[in-house]
Structure 1
Amino acid sequence: MRPKAGAATGYATLSLPVAIGLMGMLLASLLAIVNEHVTASALVDIQGALSIGHDDGTWLSALFEAGNVATMVFAPWFGITFTLKRFTIGAVLVTMCLGVLCPLAPNLPVLYALRILQGIAGGCLPPMLIIVALRYLPPKIKLYGLAGYALTATVGPALGTPLAALWIEYVNWRMTFLQVVPLGVVSCIAIHWGLPSDPLKLERFRSFNWTGLVTGFPAIAMLVVGLLQGDRLDWLNSDFIRVMLLGGTLLLAVFLVNEWFHPHRFFMLQMLSRRNFTHGLLTLAGAVVLLVGLAAIPGHYLVEVHGYRPLQAAPLSLLVAIPLLVTLPLTAAVLNLRSVDRRWILAGGLGLMATTCLLGSCMTSAWIRDNFYLLQSLQIAAQPMVIMSILMGVTTGLPPIEGPFASAMFNSLKTFSAAVATAFIEGMGTERERFHSNVLVDHLGNNPLIASRGIGAAHGLGQLAQRVHEQALVLTSADLYRVMGGLAVALLLLVTVLPVRIYPPWIATQPHSH
């Protein structure tokens, strides 16, 4: 028998229909994240197939991400208003339709519009998964449900390169867009059959927070566009980037002030008074930067230095993605023990990430894909330990009424941090590559032995320039690993001062972490 529609708590057991509905929500969230990362990984081939230049092509990702991140702030409110079941199915159907239309776009402006809309539709899905997990899962297995969400945040991005390689090399580039259709059909059927039907709450529109929407959505969209286009347009030397970053920051400030005082808010900033919640969000932001960096550095190095195609780089991603299907629920099982302090698990995961960065900082130009296997192997344990510990700290003891607020803040910060990480890696990578190139060229120019060998011939200069470029990329990658390592150590130190001990959700006598 299904749980009574509209119940928020008190689910002592998990019925088969609700379990299937939760699986549908998991597939919907995974669909959104895989769609985002596959199209990003296959962007060069998509640009080639559609005859789109590099600069124009960068907007395909930037506009998608802007809509995606900005929507996550407001999706939980609309999900509660239109009901989780109807809203999620609607968002999946829109994502599927836009996936079919994108390869058929007659021109670039239409494709831009479709990608913005698909980013908005996709941004509605991950926040729904957390709300449903907190609402319907019994306390004994709540951490396993959160492991499902962690799977979308870790395995989803890792599947981007392998799936892009599969579609591009063996099927057709259009599948990078069309892949959402079969997964979307299955998720819609599962959600429709499994989740209870709540009544619509359209009366909530009478007190709708219009100020929050008209300031928050453009604020976040402008900041994301400014971050993702900053390196290409030379950051604050560009009038456009200055407008995006400054205007977005000012609008965001107005949005946050409004959210503090508005009675019908999208963000409940007062929740930051809880030490574990604040620590969870701070660590989440840093952990996302680490995850993006540790995935991007080897991929960029192998492509730029050794000319790898996505198919050749795919084993690195699969090495992490497949074992995570086992290590995530195992980590949940460990955290579900009363005797385990999740702060130690979090510290262990951050320590493994710091070790990964230390090993990576020793890389040389002789490194190929095989040299990164050990580094990636450490992530099999590190990522679940970090992500699951954060999720447990943020959600344990959370009153049901605050679930949508936690979901909005958690998901929007996660995706915004990914944009910050991308901008940071690109910006620092460009600056360090220029620095190392200048140092190497100065060193060569001051070397009389090289000058006496007559390397001024065009062929010789071409080879030398290529070697300098490759060595600068190697040194830049090592620098990025060192920075990521410093961030991991900083997050590790934060564990010792901010969070307090909490117990698994099934323990009724857990202390409040204020």
Structure 2
Amino acid sequence: MVASVANAQAAPAHPPNATAADWIAVAAGSLGALLATLDISITNSALPQIQGQIGAAGTEGTWISTGYLMSEIVMIPLTAWLTRVFGLRNFLITNTLLFTLFSMMCGFSHSLPQMVIGRIGQGFAGGAMIPTAQTIVATRLPRHQMPIGMTMFGLIVLLGPLLGPVVGGWLAENIDWSWCFFLNLPVSIALIGLLLFGLKRDHVDLHQFVNADWLGIVGLTAGLSCLTVVLEEGQRERWFESSMIVWLSVVAACGIAVLLIAQFTAKRPIVRLSLLKNKSYASVIMIVFTVGAGLYGIAYLLPQFLSTVAGYNAEQSGAVMLVSGVPAFIMMPILPRVIGKIDSRILVIAGLACFTASCMADIALTAQSVGHDFFASQLLRGVGQVLAMMPLNQASMAAVSKQEAGDAAGLYNMARNLGGSVGLALIGTFIDRRTTFHDQIIRESVTANSAIGQEHIQASAAGFFASHGDAAFAKLQALGQLAAQIDVQAIVMTYSETFYVLGIALALCVPLAFLLKRPSAGTPSAGH
């Protein structure tokens, strides 16, 4: 009897599993994150129809996307503080209602200012849903089940931007662009129901609101919002040739300086940059910043190539993009077990290697490249994204305590989005300058003294002359055709170089993966 009691005491107790309410809370967080990530990109494919309907000319329509990203990146790091002030349940339900309200405003918009205001409101409300989903997983699930929750969250973050263009393109082509926003209504109703059942009632703590780091909040809001606009609009405005970009850059620099000052003066800074002293967490942030640039960069590059060179519409381009989501669905059942048993550093390195290889597979593009030529690289890219992002989600939470989970989640998601904005700005500048460079080089080689060039023009002119019998017009058509071919070749060469540069940037992140926190011995896996 004594021996059996001793054995019972010596046997390790199996940690309790999450309750049904915990899983409902995780499902609610994941659905909210899907809502937010989907709306980042769902309007991109419907942008031409939206611009035509609301009377936005030229590049004015870019503010529809910029407004969302600008407010979202400000809200993400504020989420941990606002959750402490209003309580998680109150905060998420309020944000869901606001997100729905601003979505309806966008759907009924008849002018650009109305649409941009609606998108800014969507960004504020949606920005809160992404880090809170990660926080719910970190705080509601026991350690041995956390890989399952983090896999759910990671898949949402990956699939949202992939599904957005497909859903938006289909709705714009087959129903109406306004349904890109009206679609949020039934999803939001389901989300509120899950939040009511999954989260406990909580109390408002106005003391934390009054005694907040207001200096840091002002610096964060001014710095990140202006920085996002500079990165998103800089290339279109020719950077510092624009007085708007100059002044926004000054405000952004001042805001970030104020935010840094607040790190030393506030009792509890609004953004806890001190977390970056933890080398494991800092490595996660650096990697996710670069991977964010890769994710957003590919989401921009591939549809642009397919549209400009292959002549695809938004729906067709979205279908090609969705191929990279196939590995995520295939790996979904086994991924939590793999993350629980294999060193996260190995998985991240394998993911970065696959992501790098997928970029290198697209450096041999030609003017004849079409959608199916990207299938292999897209599948490889999907594997790389899953293997890199899923362990990074868990590593970011494993590197900090539960009390720091909210602040860590905000900084993690801010780094991913900021990496995307920086990556898109650099890619836009790179594409613009390298396209001009290649165009000039090709045109210099195809001169009046070029025998090959003259033969090509004469052959083309002969074909046009045979169709209408006007020699002068036939030569003009031949010259126009040659100019168009030069433009296409310059674009193809530039996109190949851009994929190469992205691949190199991702490969340079591999050494950082060795600094990730080694899983503690005896940590139960998801399979136990």
- Per the normalisation by structure 1, the TM-score is 0.92
Task: Report what 2:173 is aligned to.
Answer: 169
**Counterpart check, 1:502 vs 2:505:** no
8 Å CA contact 2:234, 2:425 repeated in 1: yes
Task: Report what 2:255 is aligned to.
Answer: 251
For the structure 1 residues 218 and 451, does the alpha-carbon distance in structure 2 shift closer, same or farther, using more than 3 Å as the test? Answer: same
The counterpart of 1:196, out of the listed 171, 194, 200, is 200
The counterpart of 1:433, out of the listed 432, 435, 438, is 435
The whole-number CA distance in structure 2 between the counterparts of 1:415 and 1:329 is 27
Unaligned segments of structure 1, at least 5 residues:
1-9, 509-514
The whole-number CA distance in structure 1 between the counterparts of 2:237 and 2:301 is 22
Task: Report what 1:262 is aligned to.
Answer: 266
Task: Report what 1:368 is aligned to.
Answer: 370
The whole-number CA distance in structure 1 between the counterparts of 2:503 and 2:443 is 28
8 Å CA contact 2:29, 2:134 repeated in 1: no
**Counterpart check, 1:467 vs 2:470:** no
**Counterpart check, 1:330 vs 2:334:** yes
The whole-number CA distance in structure 2 between the counterparts of 1:330 and 1:507 is 16
8 Å CA contact 2:324, 2:379 repeated in 1: yes
The whole-number CA distance in structure 2 between the counterparts of 1:316 and 1:287 is 20
8 Å CA contact 1:22, 1:195 repeated in 2: no
1:104 CA drift (Å): 2.0
Residue pairs, 1:115-194, within 5 angstroms = 115-194=119-198
SS state at 2:42 partner: helix
CA RMSD after TM alignment: 2.0
Residue pairs, 1:404-415, within 5 angstroms = 404-415=406-417
The whole-number CA distance in structure 1 between the counterparts of 2:491 and 2:69 is 27
8 Å CA contact 1:358, 1:481 repeated in 2: yes
8 Å CA contact 2:70, 2:123 repeated in 1: yes
The whole-number CA distance in structure 1 between the counterparts of 2:296 and 2:210 is 41
1:505 CA drift (Å): 9.1
Task: Report what 2:114 is aligned to.
Answer: 110
1:320 CA drift (Å): 2.1
Task: Report what 2:450 is aligned to.
Answer: 447
1:22 CA drift (Å): 1.7
For the structure 1 residues 325 and 198, does the alpha-carbon distance in structure 2 shift closer, same or farther, using more than 3 Å as the test? Answer: farther
8 Å CA contact 2:328, 2:382 repeated in 1: yes
Task: Report what 2:396 is aligned to.
Answer: 394
Paired amino acid for 1:440: I
The whole-number CA distance in structure 1 between the counterparts of 2:44 and 2:261 is 34
The whole-number CA distance in structure 2 between the counterparts of 1:105 and 1:359 is 42
Of the structure 1 ranges 66-75 and 198-207, higher mean CA displacement relative to structure 2 is found in 198-207
The whole-number CA distance in structure 2 between the counterparts of 1:108 and 1:472 is 34
1:388 CA drift (Å): 1.6
The whole-number CA distance in structure 2 between the counterparts of 1:450 and 1:290 is 38
The whole-number CA distance in structure 1 between the counterparts of 2:386 and 2:521 is 16
The counterpart of 1:44, out of the listed 43, 48, 52, is 48
SS state at 1:197 partner: coil
Task: Report what 2:381 is aligned to.
Answer: 379
Q: Report Cα offsets for 1:271-307 as digits up to 9, x if no partner.
A: 2121110100000101111122233222111100122
8 Å CA contact 1:150, 1:328 repeated in 2: no
The whole-number CA distance in structure 1 between the counterparts of 2:228 and 2:53 is 26
Unaligned segments of structure 2, at least 5 residues:
1-13, 462-471
The whole-number CA distance in structure 2 between the counterparts of 1:133 and 1:504 is 22
**Counterpart check, 1:78 vs 2:82:** yes
Task: Report what 2:23 is aligned to.
Answer: 19
The whole-number CA distance in structure 1 between the counterparts of 2:250 and 2:508 is 28
The whole-number CA distance in structure 2 between the counterparts of 1:386 and 1:120 is 28
**Counterpart check, 1:91 vs 2:108:** no
Paired amino acid for 1:129: A
The whole-number CA distance in structure 2 between the counterparts of 1:319 and 1:144 is 23
Residue pairs, 1:210-221, within 5 angstroms = 210-221=214-225
Number of equivalent positions: 496
The counterpart of 2:425, out of the listed 418, 423, 429, is 423
8 Å CA contact 1:260, 1:270 repeated in 2: no
8 Å CA contact 2:297, 2:420 repeated in 1: no
Residue pairs, 1:482-493, within 5 angstroms = 482-493=500-511
SS state at 2:446 partner: helix
Paired amino acid for 1:447: S
Task: Report what 1:3 is aligned to.
Answer: none
The whole-number CA distance in structure 1 between the counterparts of 2:224 and 2:403 is 25
**Counterpart check, 1:481 vs 2:499:** yes
- Per the normalisation by structure 2, the TM-score is 0.90
The whole-number CA distance in structure 1 between the counterparts of 2:296 and 2:111 is 32
The whole-number CA distance in structure 1 between the counterparts of 2:189 and 2:393 is 29
The whole-number CA distance in structure 2 between the counterparts of 1:26 and 1:464 is 51
1:430 CA drift (Å): 0.8
Of the structure 1 ranges 291-300 and 84-93, higher mean CA displacement relative to structure 2 is found in 291-300
Task: Report what 2:344 is aligned to.
Answer: 342
Task: Report what 1:232 is aligned to.
Answer: 236
8 Å CA contact 2:43, 2:165 repeated in 1: no
8 Å CA contact 1:147, 1:329 repeated in 2: no
The whole-number CA distance in structure 2 between the counterparts of 1:278 and 1:201 is 31
8 Å CA contact 2:45, 2:315 repeated in 1: no
The whole-number CA distance in structure 2 between the counterparts of 1:11 and 1:257 is 43
1:368 CA drift (Å): 0.5
Q: Report Cα offsets for 1:150-194 as digits up to 9, x if no partner.
A: 112101111011101220122211111111111111111011111
8 Å CA contact 2:90, 2:202 repeated in 1: no
The whole-number CA distance in structure 1 between the counterparts of 2:185 and 2:426 is 34
The whole-number CA distance in structure 2 between the counterparts of 1:505 and 1:160 is 40
8 Å CA contact 1:335, 1:504 repeated in 2: no
The whole-number CA distance in structure 2 between the counterparts of 1:470 and 1:260 is 53
Task: Report what 2:10 is aligned to.
Answer: none
Paired amino acid for 1:254: V
Of the structure 1 ranges 291-300 and 352-361, higher mean CA displacement relative to structure 2 is found in 291-300
1:245 CA drift (Å): 2.1
The whole-number CA distance in structure 2 between the counterparts of 1:106 and 1:295 is 28
8 Å CA contact 2:134, 2:153 repeated in 1: yes
SS state at 1:240 partner: helix
8 Å CA contact 1:60, 1:112 repeated in 2: yes
8 Å CA contact 2:363, 2:499 repeated in 1: yes
The whole-number CA distance in structure 1 between the counterparts of 2:399 and 2:511 is 25
The counterpart of 2:33, out of the listed 21, 29, 34, is 29
SS state at 2:227 partner: helix
Q: Report Cα offsets for 1:52-93 as digits up to 9, x if no partner.
A: 212211111112211111111112210121111111111111
The whole-number CA distance in structure 2 between the counterparts of 1:504 and 1:29 is 32
The whole-number CA distance in structure 1 between the counterparts of 2:233 and 2:422 is 11
Residue pairs, 1:47-58, within 5 angstroms = 47-58=51-62
